[in-house]
Structure 1
Amino acid sequence: MLARPNRLTRGADYKAAVRRGRRCAGSHTVTYVTSSVEDRPTRFGFIVSRQVGGAVVRNTVRRRLKAVCAESLNDVRPGVDIVIRALPGAGSVDFAELRAEVTRCLSQRAAA
């Protein structure tokens, strides 16, 4: 699980990351990465809309994305904000495929 300092909580932070961030699109997710010069921990945010599925499916996808990001936390440089948007097909893929997609985008855009 991601600790409190490693989570985006404000809507303005989400909006800034999505608008100004560099995009990496996969078949089931879109990852936005924004760097800053501030000395703070890496922060992650997740957008999982109703198009992904019902509440159970959305929460499952969100938990899977959080687990992948917790694994990748040490590989991402500090001071980076990352927002991962789940696309409608994300609810039907297995964990390994979701992990591979997110890890690829994080290694391209936010590697330490």
Structure 2
Amino acid sequence: MLPQQQKFTSPSDFSRTIKRGRRAGTRTVVVHLVDRSSMPDADIALQGGPRVGLIVSKAVGNAVIRHRTSRRLRHICVSRFGSLPKPTDLVIRALPAAGTASSSELDSDLNKALKKLGVGHG
């Protein structure tokens, strides 16, 4: 479970990150990353800790598969918080292949996408 302060709180958080952020994709996920410290809106920039938003659409599968995929991605994100810079917003969009991927495949793909963006896990 993601702590409340590390979740997106509004649709505008998603759209801001997708529009202003850098993007990297793999077979199962597309990751959008933005550094809040570079944002002109001071109250957003000052919010603490990395924040994550997940997008898991119907293209991933039925409700059971979507929820399972979301749980797996949330669990993976919690383990990444130590390696993300504090003023970071991250949107993870699951692609259809994520519905059949294992947790280790999702973890590996997320790691690859973050490395492409210059944010390694470790």
Question: Given the two structures, how large is their TM-score scaled by the length of structure 1?
Answer: 0.93
Contact 1:72–1:103 under 8 Å retained in 2: no
Distance 1:78 1:108 in 2: 19
Flag structure 2 segments of 5+ consecutive residues without an equivalent: 38-44
Shift in Å, 1:107: 3.6
Flag structure 1 segments of 5+ consecutive residues without an equivalent: none
Q: How many residues align?
A: 112
> Secondary structure in 1 aligned to 2:52?
strand
- Alignment RMSD: 1.4
Shift in Å, 1:9: 1.8
Contact 2:98–2:106 under 8 Å retained in 1: yes
Q: Residues 60 and 97 from structure 1, CA distance in 2 versus in 1: closer, same or farther, beyond 3 angstroms?
A: same
Distance 2:50 2:25 in 1: 20
> Which of structures 1 and 2 has the bigger CA Rg?
2
Query: Does 34-43 or 50-59 show the bigger shift?
Result: 34-43
Moved over 4 A (4+): none
Which residue of structure 2 aligns with residue 103 of structure 1? 111
Q: Equivalent pairs: percent with the same residue? A: 31
Question: Given the two structures, how large is their TM-score scaled by the length of structure 2?
Answer: 0.86
